[in-house]
Amino acid sequence: MIQAQDINIKKILYATDLSESARYVFAYAVNLAVKYSASITILHVVHEVPSFTDRSVANYIEADIWAQIKKRHLEDARKVLIDKRKEHLAIKEMLDQFAEKVQSADEASKFDFDEVLVEIGNPVEVILEVADNRNCDIIVIGKTGQGFIEAALMGSTAARVVRRSKKPVLVIRNPD
C-alpha cells in the first residue's frame, strides 16, 4: 500500500486548452509544483483533423474528379498550413510569456518550468506521449462542461486521458 510519504512528484505535465478557465486549472499545477518542489511542463495541443477524408470521399465521387478538386485547392491548403504554423508560434510565444509572468508574480511560491510545448495532433495521444517521453509524474488537466451529445459521442479529452493514462491524472472541473 502506498503511503503519503511515498508520493514523490517531481515533474508535472499541465495540459491546457487555452480556455478562459485555464488559469484556474493552472493554479492547481502551480500549487502541486510548490508543495513537491516539482517542475512544470506546459502543453497545448492544436487539434489535427484526421486524414480519412480521401477514403470517405471515394465513396461519393470518382478518384480523378477528387484529384482535380484537391489540385484546385492546393494553394488554399498551403496557406492554411502556413497560417497554422504562424498560429503555432504565436501560441508558443503567448504561453512562454504567461509562464514568465506567473513565475515572477509570487517570489514566495518558486517553482521551475521545464518547457512550454505546442504540438499538433490528437490531444489525447499527444498528452499521453509527452507525459511518457518527459517522464512526468502526474498530468494536470481541466474538464470543461459539454453537451450531452458531444460527451456521448466523443467523451472529453480529460476523460479519455484518465482512461488511457498509466500515470496519475488530476482533473480539475472548471468553475461555472
> pLDDT for 75-121, tens place per residue?
555 565 555 556 666 777 777 777 777 666 665 566 777 888 888 78
| pLDDT (0 to 100) of residue 116 | 86
Whole-number pLDDT of residue 175? 74
- Do residues 143 and 159 lie in contact, with contact meaning Cβ atoms separated by under 8 Å? yes
Which residue ranges in the chain fall short of pLDDT 50?
A: 149-150, 152-154
Residue 56 located in a structural domain: no
Q: What is the CATH number of the domain that holds 150?
A: 3.40.50.620
Tell me which residue range forms the domain holding 111.
Answer: 4-49+91-173
Residue 137 within any structural domain of the chain: yes
Q: Which of 70, 76, 74 is nearest to 53 (CA)?
A: 70
Residue 63 lies in a domain: no
Q: Does 168 map to a domain?
A: yes
**In the prediction, which pLDDT does 154 show?**
47
3-state secondary structure of 89: helix
DSSP class of 5 = G
- Model's pTM, two decimal places? 0.71
Tell whether 69 is covered by a domain.
Answer: no
Which of 70, 11, 3 has the alpha carbon at shortest distance from 36? 11
Residue 134 lies in a domain: yes
State the total domains in the chain: 1
Q: Cα(39)–Cα(134) distance, rounded to whole angstroms?
A: 11
Look at residue 65 and tell me if it is in a domain. Answer: no
Assign 94 to helix, strand or coil: helix
Q: How confident is the model at residue 64, as a pLDDT?
A: 73
104 occurs within a structural domain: yes
